[in-house]
Amino acid sequence: MTDRLAGKTALVTGAAQGIGKAIAARLAADGATVYVADINGEGAKAAAAAIGGKTKAVTVDISDPKSVTAMFDEIKKVGGIDILVNNASIVPFVAWDDVDLDHWRKIIDVNLTGTFIVTRAATDQMRAAAKPGRVINISSNTFFAGTPNMAAYVAAKGGVIGFTRALATELGQYNITANAVTPGLIESDGVKASPHNGAFEFVEMLQAVKGKGQPEHIADVVSFLASEDARWITGQTLNVDAGMVRH
How far is the C-alpha of 176 from the C-alpha of 80, rounded, in Å? Answer: 14
Residues in the chain: 247
How far is the C-alpha of 163 from the C-alpha of 179, rounded, in Å? Answer: 10
Contacts (Cβ under 8 Å, ≥6 apart) of 213: 183, 184, 185, 186, 187, 240, 241, 242
Residue 220 backbone dihedrals phi, psi, to 5 degrees: -60, -40
Q: Considering 153, 241, 242, 244, which one is annotated as catalytic?
A: 153
Query: Helix 114-128 crosses helix 151-171 at what angle (to 10 degrees)?
Result: 20
**Residues 23/87, Cβ–Cβ less than 8 Å:** yes
35 belongs to the catalytic site: no
Which sequence positions are flagged as catalytic? Answer: 153
